[in-house]
Amino acid sequence: MIRLTDIYKIYSDGDSEIRALDGISLHVEKGEFVAIVGSSGSGKSTCMNIIGCLDVPTSGTYQLDGIDVSTMHEKELAHVRNQRLGFVFQQYNLIPKLNVIENVELPLLYRGVPSAERRKMALEALDRVGIADRAKKLPTQLSGGQQQRVSIARALAGQPPVILADEPTGALDSKTGREVLEFMKQLHREGNTIVLITHDNSIAEEIPRVVRIHDGIITSDTRKEAEA
Amino acid sequence: MNLQQSFRLALKSLGASKLRSFLTMLGIIIGVAAVIIIVSLMSSLTNYVISTFEDMGANLITVSISGRGGNRSVSPEEMQELALDNPDIIGYISPSLSVPATAKVGNTNVTLQATGVNEYYDEIKQQTLQAGRSLFFTDINERSKNCVIGTYLVKELFDGQNPLEQTLSVNGVAFTVVGVLEETANSSSFGSDNALLIPYTTAKQIGRGNISTYSVSAATKDTIDAANDLLERFLLGKFDSDDYFTLIDQAAIIEELNKLIGMMTTMLVGIAAVSLLVGGIGVMNIMLVSVTERTREIGIRKSLGATPWDILGQFLVEACVTSGIGGIIGIGLGIGGASIAANLIGIPFTLSVPSILVAFSVSAAIGIGFGYFPARKASRLNPIDALRYE
Ligand SMILES: Nc1ncnc2c1ncn2[C@@H]1O[C@H](COP(=O)(O)OP(=O)(O)OP(=O)(O)O)[C@@H](O)[C@H]1O
Ligand SMILES: [Mg+2]
């Protein structure tokens, strides 16, 4: 499903250069649930942004569903993001002046789904995360946990095969964080491919496959066989 | 994303910051309104001036004689003879002897220029009477103390009452009003309603001046040039040099006026165009600010699958909606303002349709033109940089 081969991401400002990713190869199968763990500045987000087609690697190839994404230009990448990927960000990234349902409809809007169907799909997604009753509220009128659910609903609305979550629990207290994690697990059981970044080892422990990154290099990649 | 959605989105985002959107539109509103007001007023003015001059007799040629030495004038009889000898070219000739006068009825008086004329004057000036009669040959011949007055004097001296057969004193001499000229300019003191016509023979006695001005009408519109040539040859024969007389024909005046008004219009439209341009730069400025402010929003939209074209379209539509709404408001204000101004000035209002079309297309073009650069900037943002923007 996701196949990164020898990915480098090098930021150079003037004479110094930062090797955010220093040769990463990673293969994620369809239906896997992968946690990326590492200390701050280790390159987790950089890796995730490349997987999410938000950023392009300095070198290396990236295949998504067998298609080489690294050579695509912006318009094609936009379609890939729109149809294959769902993002959940640490800071929710909802558009403040749009209400909850409008936010959830956005990916469908850019996909060209007609308005009535869009509304229906968005409501279904909101229902799945359990806040369909807040559909007409503005994001600022919701708690952090609720906003994160909205952003999950937005990621789910277009039913993309891959869900990418960059520290989705980072801004939440441990109880709401746990709820979000449970939800991710449920999505995994339903067959979604999920890549999740976390700092939190107790969360990482519950995820079947854990990839550790340090200074832009993968230091370990462990799979748990026992799973509920 | 289709166009209808883009429009709804644009309206929404404009509605989210109403004051700013309004200020942005203000530049466009003022620019468009200014263009329409100026062009409409100028074309109203042009139409008015031309029709006034045509009312005064389109075939009219005014002869002014300054003369020299003992030979300062040409007699009315000589002029009359010229007219009679050339009936195909010249229609009528009348002296036009201006006499500074104080017209008085009871205790009310009005200071004006009385004009000494002959019986053809009305015909030359294409004036009609609304009451009474014109001056007759016998009035001229007998130096009668009869006069024809304009409606301004009726209003000022007779309180709008019927002045016929009433007495009016001109510089202390009693005259009888025999006719009233048709109103042409709202009975205002400017223009042809402020008129006091008396026989030139009588005027000569009162004013003791030479007849230095004649009003001549060409036989038809087509003989204006011929009449001009004829008068020129005749007067050159009298004075040797054209330094001593001037011929002004109405067509030339209208042409000159048209040129003058045209120049003024161009200048004013230029000024208005600059204000429209400034308005456009305002739109661009706000759009740039809005792009910067909404960098993060752009990043979010891109992460959700908005193509560069989607983003470009969103901002372009926003700019177009801003300047389109501004343009429509400007057109409304422009038409309203121009008609009120025309009313205040007292000229009939002529709406300039081309100016509306031009002003609107310009404001739409400004939306596209000045909105394009900020929109393109937004569409080219790298999604991850935009997302990280604080
Ligand atoms: N735009 C950039 N320009 C320069 N350096 C950058 C840029 N983005 C990231 N980096 C650097 O790349 C390295 C990896 O950053 P990244 O955001 O991937 O870390 P992270 O593992 O997600 O950390 P955290 O857990 O704090 O989110 C860091 O050293 C960072 O300073
Ligand atoms: Mg990070």
Task: Kindly list the domain boundaries of chain B, sorted by start residue.
Answer: 3-52+256-388, 97-210
| Pairs of residues, one from chain A and one from chain B, whose beta carbons lie less than 8 Å apart | 64
How close A163 gets to chain B, by Cα (Å)? 12
- B300 to chain A, any CB pair closer than 8 A? The answer is yes
Question: Residue A64 contacts by C-beta under 8 Å, 6 or more apart in sequence?
Answer: A1, A2, A3, A53, A80, A84, A162
Phi, psi of B101, rounded to the nearest 5 degrees: -140, 155
Q: Is residue A162 part of a domain?
A: yes
Report pLDDT for B70. 65
B320: burial class by Cβ within 10 Å (0-12, 13-18, 19+)? Answer: buried
CATH of the domain at A185: 3.40.50.300
| Interface mutation vs chain B, best among A88, A98, A138, A163, most B CBs within 10 Å | A98
Say whether residue A183 is in contact with chain B using an 8 A CB cutoff.
Answer: no
Q: Which residues of A touch B384 (CB under 8 A)?
A: 49, 54-55
Quote the percentage of chain A above a pLDDT of 90.
67
Which neighbouring-strand residues pair with B217?
B60, B92
Which residues in chain A are closer than 8 Å to B311, comparing Cβ atoms?
none
Pairing verdict, β B60-65 and B245-249: antiparallel
Query: Is the Cβ of B383 closer than 8 Å to some Cβ of chain A?
Result: yes
Q: What is the pLDDT of residue A140?
A: 93
pTM higher than the cut 0.90: no
Q: Is the Cβ of B7 closer than 8 Å to some Cβ of chain A? A: no
**Dist. CA A8 → ligand 2 center (Å):** 17
Nearest of A27, A66, A25, A28 to residue A188 by alpha carbon: A28
* CA end-to-end span of chain A: 23
* Predicted confidence (pLDDT) at residue A225 exceeds the cutoff of 80: no
Question: For the residues A59-88, what does the mean pLDDT come to?
Answer: 92
The mean of the pLDDT values for chain B is 86
Residue A210 to residue A190: CA distance in whole angstroms: 20
How far is the CA of A71 from the CAs of A56, A58, A61, A86, B230, in angstroms?
A: 9, 12, 8, 21, 88
Give me ligand 2 centre to Cα A45, in Å: 4
- Among A32-46, B60-74, B110-124, B164-178, the least confident range: B60-74
| pLDDT number for residue B56 | 66
B293 membership: H or E segment, kind and range: helix B250-293
A34-38, B281-285, B362-366: range with highest mean pLDDT? A34-38
Question: Which ligand is located closest to the Cα atom of residue A40?
Answer: 1
pLDDT of residue A150: 94
User: What's the pLDDT at A170?
Assistant: 84
The per-residue pLDDT for B55 is 67
Within a domain: A25: no
The terminus-to-terminus CA distance of chain B in angstroms comes to 27
Of B198, B229, B251, the closest CA to residue B82 belongs to: B229
Beta pairing, strands B196-199 & B146-149: antiparallel
Per CB-CB distance under 8 Å, the chain B contacts of A81 are: 302-305
Comparing A199-208, B93-102, B129-138, B348-357, the range with the smallest average pLDDT is B348-357
What pLDDT score does B26 carry? 86
Whether the pLDDT of residue A1 is over 90: the answer is no
- Tokens representing A128 are 């799945």
Which residues does chain B have within 8 Å of residue A87's beta carbon, measured at their own beta carbons? Answer: 303-304
Residue A61 located in a structural domain: no
Residue A94 is assigned to a structural domain of this protein: yes
Is B318 touching A (CB cutoff 8 A)? no
Mean pLDDT of A161-179: 89
A109 in contact with B, Cβ within 8 Å: yes
Contact A97 B302 (CB under 8 A): no
More confident residue, A43 or B3: A43
Three-state secondary-structure class, residue B94: strand
- By most ligand atoms within 8 Å of CB, the mutation choice from A13, A16, A44, A51 for ligand 1 is A44
Tokens 């009588």 sit at which residue?
Answer: B202
Question: Does A19 map to a domain?
Answer: no
Domain count, chain A: 1
Question: Which residues in chain B are closer than 8 Å to A78, comparing Cβ atoms?
Answer: 302, 305-308, 310
The CA A118 to ligand 2 mean position distance, Å, reads 31
Q: Tell me the average pLDDT across B183-206.
A: 85
Which protein residues are within 6 Å of ligand 1, measured from CB?
Answer: A 11, 18, 20, 38, 40-46
Poorest-pLDDT segment among A43-57, A173-187, A203-217, B270-284: B270-284
Mutate to test the pocket of ligand 1, among A12, A16, A45, A197 (most ligand atoms within 8 A of CB): A45
pLDDT of residue B308: 92
Closest of B166, B121, B173 to residue B145, by C-alpha: B173
Q: Are B318 and B7 in contact (CB under 8 A)?
A: no
Q: What is the ipTM for the molecules in this complex? A: 0.93
In a domain, A1, yes or no: no
Residue ranges making up the domain that contains A102:
31-43+73-223
Judged by its nearest atom, the ligand closest to the C-alpha of residue B384 is: 1
**For ligand 1, atom 31, which residue shows the shortest CA distance?**
A41
In a domain, residue A68? The reply is: no
In terms of phi and psi (left: phi > 0; alpha: psi -120 to 50; beta: otherwise), the region of B250 is: alpha
pLDDT, residue A228, reads 46
Inter-residue contact B157 to B163 (CB < 8 Å): yes
Residues with CB under 5 Å of ion ligand 2 are A 45
Query: Does residue A157 form part of some domain?
Result: yes
Lowest mean pLDDT among A30-44, A62-76, B53-67, B76-90: B53-67
CB B384 within 8 A of CB A52: no
Query: What average pLDDT does the segment A125-137 reach?
Result: 91
Cα(A46) to ligand 2 centroid in Å equals: 7
Residues of B in contact with A111 (CB under 8 A): 305
Judge: B304–A74 Cβ closer than 8 Å, yes or no: no
What pLDDT digit, counting tens, does each position of B308-367 carry? 998 988 888 888 888 888 889 999 999 999 999 888 888 888 887 888 888 888 878 887
User: A187-191, B185-189, B209-213, B290-294: which has the highest mean pLDDT?
Assistant: A187-191
The Å distance, Cα B354 to ligand 1 centre, comes to: 59
